[in-house]
A and B are shown apart, each in its own frame.
Chain A
Amino acid sequence: MTDARRLARALAALSLVLLAVGVTALFVGSAGLSPSAVARALAGRAEASSVEAIVTLSLRLPRVAAAVLAGAALAVAGVGFQALTRNPLAEPSVLGVSSGAAFGVVLAQILGFSSGIVAALGVAAFAFAGALLAATIVYLVATAPGGLAVQTLLLTGVIVGIFFSAAITVIISVVDFNRLTGVIHWLLGNLGPIPAASLALFAVLAGAGVWLILKSARELNLLALGEEASRQLGVDAERLKRRVFVAAALLTGTVVAFTGPIGFVGLIVPHVLRRLVGQDNRFLVPTAALAGGAFLLAADTLARNVVAPAELSVGVITAFCGAPFFVWILRTRSRPL
């Protein structure tokens, strides 16, 4: 069977999984709607101001979309960073960009951008500014005269991440006690319903990032030969590294801007997929998009239903899955890192 056909099969299977999770997510929730009510709302046959229409179409549907986009973006960013650094433990949030974006958002919340569409874009702009700042610092520090040094990239990313986390702590410690809880909860990840215009922006940006990494997938495989060897095969290694770094930073920054920092998706999903579809990035990138979306959606659905009507933050669920999983990877790797 050709590669293309195998990929198509894998994608079809994952699409079914995603669809199943999506449907479940739409029908399950703390509003206690009956399945027929939800079905009616989805079919457009419920009155526009009825509870089922509002809950299903204005609350659940956008939230499902946000979860799928965020999950896809984070998983693909994970695949990209891991291929770029040739380190399977590289996770988007380890590379400093997440913390930079979170810092931007926290700053925005404290300075005064929290109303309306302008706010939605305003907060996102702060997140991107923060992500860009962190990414630029990491990139500049890790770029020796010979080009981007991927091992330095990891170390620098960790340090920049710690720096911005500390900066966030500073802000938290001077903020009004009443706002404190809100900011802290946001930092745990927040997949709330997003207005349509923001969702569209989110989709465009996430799509751009995924596309960039997908385009680079074949060359990322070649990067495993070593930079020099891949150059000798005709790969423009510098441009490749830059492109993947920018794309992964874009994806991570976008997710943090719209949903807060969510960890571990970029680690868990690529690894599980590697065991299922192999190491070829041309398979990993598209399957990660679908699997990441399904995974985060499942985690979010759990988070908003397990202690209903209260909610857990999705970051809690992914962290509780992620930490033991991290340990498992370390113990079952055949070679020491």
Chain B
Amino acid sequence: MTPLVQFRDVAFAYARPERRRERTFAFPGLSFTVERGEVFGVIGPNSAGKTSLLRLLTRVLRPQRGEIRLDGRPVGDLAPWALAREVAVVPQEAPRPFPFTVEQLVLMGRYPHAPGRFFEDAADITAARAAMAATETLALAPLPLEQLSGGERQRALLARALAQEPRLLVLDEPTAHLDLRYQAETAALLRGLNRERGMTILLVSHDLNLAAELCDRLLLLSAGEVARVGAAVDVLEQGLLESVFGCHVTVDKSPSGRPVVQLAYERG
């Protein structure tokens, strides 16, 4: 079966020096796949290119060489709204200022399904409500987004992505600003979506342990290149992590059998 996402030899570099985070950042030639129905994690140090990878996938950036395919078709062939029907992105945090309610936010996710329509129709409202039900945000529907807590906002953003009815859900640092309880909630939600709906999920995270728990496979990115791709236990290997991240770590096993990475603090 064709993988859902294929990156083939993708090369990209930021053209403008002031846009570069790192002086020599570029993808020299990135190749990997994401299989249907899997939870795929992209991890790596801050400047490795995780966010740029996302932007390439959603066509915010264009590769200078190479190909990105979605379900076998080059993403360049798809109109932006057509791509939006397949791929939905949950951003790290809600934009500010954002003067709309949760329901209005979620309905925005319906835009790709009928870009020419002025008002959303009944089908759109049904889909939005279903998305809110799945993320337990129905009760929050009439509230302005800005009045919600961090965890609630994250769920609302997830609902908006679900309202797009995508085949691939992409999450950019899904637990970055959440406290423990909401991290657990989010993980459970994502697991549920994957198991019950067969939703393919790609998540970018700096939280190695979350990635280890949730993901079927991991991609460790280092300076724009694939350091390793595979199951968590293969990727989260002490020597490899130390060379990529440049610090001392220890890798243990969690109760679920997945690796647990711990930073080895210097005690001096």
Contact = CB atoms under 8 A, between A and B. Distances in A.
B100 A279 contact: yes
B66 interface: no
Interface string A250-289: 0000000000000000000000000000011010000000
B119 A3 contact: yes
A7 B89 CA distance: 31
Interface in B112-168: 112, 115, 117-120, 164
B100 A236 contact: no
Given A218-B111, A229-B91, A234-B115, A3 B104 contact: no
Contacts of A280: 100, 104
A224 B99 contact: yes
A237 B82 CA distance: 15
A286 B86 CA distance: 33
Interface string B90-112: 01000101111000100011011
Interface string A215-253: 001110110111011011111100000000000000000
Given A3-B119, A226-B95, A282-B118, A233 B109 contact: yes
Given A3-B119, A233-B111, A280-B104, A224 B95 contact: yes
Contacts of B104: 221, 279-280
Contacts of B79: 234
Contact of B111 (A3, A226, A235, A279): A235
B81 A221 contact: no
B186 interface: no
B80 A235 contact: yes
B111 A234 contact: yes
Contacts, number: 73
B16 A234 contact: no
Name the interface size band of chain A.
20 to 34
B112 A229 contact: no
Contacts of A335: 97
Interface residues of B, number: 34
Interface string B67-91: 0000000000001111111011101
Nearest to B119: A3
A225 B89 CA distance: 12
A116 interface: no
A282 B95 contact: no
Contacts of B109: 233
Contacts of A282: 118-119
Contacts of A228: 55, 60
Nearest to A2: B119
A312 to B, nearest CB: 36
B103 to A, nearest CB: 11
A221 B80 contact: no
Given A234-B82, A279-B99, 16 more contacts: A2-B119, A4-B119, A218-B111, A218-B118, A221-B104, A224-B95, A224-B97, A225-B95, A229-B89, A232-B88, A233-B81, A233-B84, A233-B111, A234-B83, A234-B111, A279-B100
